[in-house]
Amino acid sequence: MKRTPILFPLFFLLCAFTSYLPSATADDDHVYDTDGDKLQYGVNYFVLPVIRGNGGGIQVAKAGNETCPLTVVQSGNELSEGLPIKIASRSAGVAFITQGQLFKSIQFGVFPSTLRPGCPPSPIPSKWDPPSKWTIVEGLPERGLAVKLVGYQNRVSGWFSIVKVADDASSSSVGYKLVFCLWPEEEVMIHLCKNVGIRTDGKGIRRLVLSENTPLVVQFQKFRSALALNNHVLSASE
Q: Within a domain: residue 5?
A: no
- In this structure, is residue 8 part of a structural domain? no
Tell how far CA 204 is from the center of its chain.
Answer: 20
Any domain includes 201: yes
pLDDT tens-digit map of 224-235: 876 555 543 444
The whole-model pTM stands at 0.80
Instruction: For residue 32, tell me if it sits in a domain.
Output: no
pLDDT in tens, 54-88: 899 999 999 888 888 999 999 999 999 999 999 99
Which domain CATH number covers 219? 2.80.10.50
- The upper half-sphere exposure of residue 129, i.e. CA atoms within 13 Å in the direction of its Cβ, equals 14
pLDDT computed for residue 205 by the predictor: 92
For 209, the domain range is 44-226
Torsion of Cα atoms, 231 then 201 then 15 then 91, to 10°: 40
Domain-located, residue 232: no
Asked if residue 236 belongs to a domain, the reply is no
Q: Quick check: is 33 in a domain?
A: no
Tally of domains in the chain:
1
Asked if residue 69 lies in contact with residue 233, where contact means CB atoms within 8 angstroms, the answer is: yes
Residue 10 lies in a domain: no
